[in-house]
A and B are shown apart, each in its own frame.
Chain A
Amino acid sequence: MNDGISTIEQQVLRDYKYGFVTNIEADEAPRGLNEDIIRFISAKKQEPEWMLEWRLKAYRHWLKMEEPKWANIKYDPINYQDIIYYSAPKQKKAPKSLDEIDPELKRTFEKLGISLEEQKRLTGVAVDAVIDSVSIATTFKEQLAEQGIIFCSMSEAIREHPELVKKYLGSVVPVTDNYFSALNSAVFSDGSFCYIPEGVRCPMELSTYFRINAENTGQFERTLIVAEKGSYVSYLEGCTAPMRDENQLHAAVVELVAMENAEIKYSTVQNWYPGDKDGVGGIYNFVTKRGICLGDHSKISWTQVETGSAITWKYPSVILKGDYSVGEFYSVAVTNNHQQADTGTKMQHIGKHTRSRIVSKGISAGFSNNSYRGLVNVSKNAVNARNFSQCDSLLLGDKCGAHTFPYIEVKNNTAIVEHEATTSKIGEDQLFYCNQRGIDTETAVALIINGFAKEVMNQLPMEFAVEAQKLLAISLEGSVG
């Protein structure tokens, strides 16, 4: 229980722990973006013609769009021609089994605490590991396949399960949805695909680990999860990147589809490199995540712990289409130093008797800015819709900012929508009380913030919760006292 605290004493963890670079040769596209680059990516992935057309359509649309400006974040303009859109670790041939993977790559994932080896069996987590633009390995594929579960990289899904990909890709987040999702649709390189057949309860946590390694690259992964009638899946996502002085772009799209009585639980621990103490470097994290509760009585639950990235722009949302469907959003967003986060959710109530719950905990320290932005929308026919939102902010120090932008649009008068918000500061009294019990200030801060974030942490699967607690503590080291 206290693992999360004892680690902070290790002074080595003061810096971003995952900031190393793996020396592997990469197979890269030239810098910049044009139709040829998109053809290059599509060819590299041996994609069918329809996929290339889909990408080109997205690209042509993207060219006509403008970068959104409404978020409460500031950054220099991104030069989209200065990014490398495809980078793959060079492997002589596609690995057939884990034994054939470049040992250097395997070590990278081991350093990150993700062993691709069979010992993962012990924790019962199936892992898909994505480095830069490609998926390196997916574990437990065969065991999952026995139950009809498909868990593989998106590239593989396009080749092996084109009918499913065609049907669902872009069905929740259309190509034209927004600037970053259009860009992603044009250049996405890999990601995870997961399909749970009717009535199947996925026997293990499915997990994808994303790693940006190469310089000047952007990562554009695409994840699609489809849960058929009466199925259940819990999915985890983790992300890290090396420390680099320039900003790197990460623009992912995640789509979830839940049929009747299906449930999808999607958890993220986002720990991209946040930049240094002066705000130099770090990942620009512009992500579109959306799920649709297509069937009656379906449920989608997003849980996110956001500690990394220089900028986070992300609103995991749920479209509650099926009657009696349920959407949940649990979030802890931590910003320190010069990090900026504008994050929240959208709950679109369309079906009758739909329910949603939003619990957002923002923690700001240093010179950072942390905004919650949320929309609860109840449409005309959504009889008896119910929403509860709770947005709490915790401030450490007096140079950081916390903001809440809740939007509520209700078009049906049977709806009940509740919003609660609090802002608090870690008090000198609380710290002194802990100190007097022998607990130093940094450990005390960790205890207080973990207490603050507990309701969200409780939603995480066990093996992630411990990791996430440590992460919270580490992200805020040195921010008080």
Chain B
Amino acid sequence: MLSIHNLHAGIEDKKILKGINLTINRGEVHAIMGPNGSGKSTLASVLAGREHFEVTEGTVEFDGKNLLELAPEERAGEGLFLAFQYPVEIPGLTTTNFIKTAVNEVRKYRGEEPLDAVGFLKLMKEKMALMEMPQSLLSRSLNEGFSGGEKKRNEIFQMAMLQPKLAILDETDSGLDIDAIRIVANGVNKFRNENNAVLVITHYQRLLDYIVPDYVHVLYNGRIVKSGTRDLALELEEKGYDFIKNEVEAV
């Protein structure tokens, strides 16, 4: 579904991604781990199409399309979703209204009729129950005054509403206590199926206790330096990132 080949990207003269290769198939959950500054969030932003970053080399194919040619909203329409590390606030815009607009814009991109009020409400009720999303959050202004946990829950709720093919979770666990992590992870697990894929970006392995990945990759200094199964995450947890650094530098 997603195939990244030799991806290089950065800001102005600063190179951040230095040749990423990664393939994700339907039904898979991949985790990318790495120390601070290794380029994890940059990778998420580049995939989502943030203009801030410049791609200097490489290709990204998403479901047969050249992802890098598409505008961010087109990528969303194609089924790529990014759960933000720092979701933004929009005062005065209710969460419901925001999500309704998003759902209908994506439907429009796909050539589908917009959902009317009744249809939207039905979908929302269904996903609210599934994601344990409280009604009170939805009638408030988007993310305004939300706690860290509420913001992340809102991200996962939006993912459930938009039903993307690929969901990228950018450090969704950062700043969350264990209960909040569990709720968020539950949401992701309910979302998973054989037709979609999830890319979990995280600094800590504890999130992976709840969202169990099929593959784990270690990003270091802009490159994937090691890939493996879930055991790799556990090894990292035990030995710390220094073990990777030493290994890489030894080569």
Contacts and interface: CB of A to CB of B under 8 A. Distances in A.
A10 interface: no
B93 interface: yes
Given A443-B105, A451-B141, A453-B92, A1 B97 contact: yes
A440 B105 contact: yes
A435 interface: yes
A115 to B, nearest CB: 26
Interface in B136-162: 141-142, 158, 162
A429 interface: yes
Interface in B75-126: 75-77, 81-82, 84, 87-88, 90-93, 97-102, 104-106, 109, 114, 117
Contact of B109 (A436, A438, A441): A438
A80 interface: no
Interface string B51-77: 110000000000000000001110111
Nearest to B93: A451
B49 interface: yes
Contact of B100 (A2, A434, A435, A436): A2
Interface in A1-51: 1-2, 5-6
A433 B52 CA distance: 13
B115 to A, nearest CB: 10
A427 interface: yes
Contact of A437 (B92, B114, B117, B158): B158
A451 B91 contact: yes
A430 B50 CA distance: 12
Contacts of A2: 97, 100-101, 104
B189 to A, nearest CB: 22
A447 B101 contact: yes
Nearest to B164: A438
Contacts of B158: 437
A419 interface: no
A445 to B, nearest CB: 11
Interface string A424-461: 00011110111111111101000110111111000000
A450 B93 contact: yes
Given A435-B71, A436-B76, A436-B82, A448 B102 contact: no
A85 B234 CA distance: 84
A427 to B, nearest CB: 7
Nearest to A428: B52
A439 B99 CA distance: 10
Contact of A439 (B49, B50, B51, B102): B102
Contacts of A6: 114
A440 B90 contact: no
Main secondary structure, interface of A, reads: helix
Nearest to B80: A436
Contacts, number: 86
Given A1-B97, A439-B105, A432 B92 contact: no
B241 to A, nearest CB: 28
Nearest to A457: B92
Interface residues of B, number: 36
Nearest to A361: B92
Contacts of A447: 90, 93, 97-98, 101
Contact of B76 (A428, A437, A448, A450): A437
Contact of B92 (A427, A438, A441, A451): A451
B160 to A, nearest CB: 13
A48 to B, nearest CB: 51
Given A1-B97, A448-B93, A450-B93, A437 B87 contact: no
A430 B90 contact: yes
Nearest to A448: B90
B167 to A, nearest CB: 12
Contact of A433 (B87, B109, B117): B87
B88 A427 contact: yes
B224 interface: no
Contacts of B77: 438
B91 A443 contact: no
Nearest to B52: A428
A439 B90 contact: no
Nearest to B48: A436
Contacts of A436: 48-49, 72-73, 75-76, 81-82, 84
A447 B76 CA distance: 18
Nearest to B158: A437
Contacts of A428: 52
Contacts of A440: 71, 73, 105
A435 B73 contact: yes
Given A435-B73, A438-B73, A439-B105, A454 B92 contact: yes
B45 to A, nearest CB: 9
Contacts of A443: 101, 105
B87 A432 contact: no
From B49, B72, B141, residue with most partner A Cβ within 10 Å: B72
A254 B9 CA distance: 60
Interface string B164-180: 00000000000000000
A20 B171 CA distance: 54
A439 B106 CA distance: 8
Contacts of A455: 92
B162 A437 contact: yes
From B90, B98, B162, residue with most partner A Cβ within 10 Å: B90
Nearest to A446: B101
A451 B90 contact: yes
A450 B72 CA distance: 22
From A432, A435, A438, A450, residue with most partner B Cβ within 10 Å: A438
Given A1-B97, A439-B101, A439-B105, A432 B50 contact: yes
A350 B141 CA distance: 38
From A2, A428, A455, residue with most partner B Cβ within 10 Å: A2
Given A5-B101, A439-B105, A447-B101, A433 B93 contact: no
Nearest to B161: A437
A452 B88 contact: no
A429 B101 contact: no
B105 A452 contact: no
Closest A-B pairs by Cβ, 4 of them: A451-B92, A451-B93, A438-B76, A435-B72
20 contacts: A1-B117, A2-B104, A429-B88, A434-B102, A435-B72, A436-B48, A436-B82, A437-B101, A438-B77, A439-B101, A439-B105, A440-B105, A441-B73, A447-B98, A448-B93, A451-B91, A452-B91, A452-B92, A454-B92, A455-B92
Given A5-B101, A438-B102, 11 more contacts: A2-B97, A2-B104, A435-B71, A436-B48, A436-B73, A437-B102, A438-B73, A448-B93, A450-B93, A451-B93, A452-B91
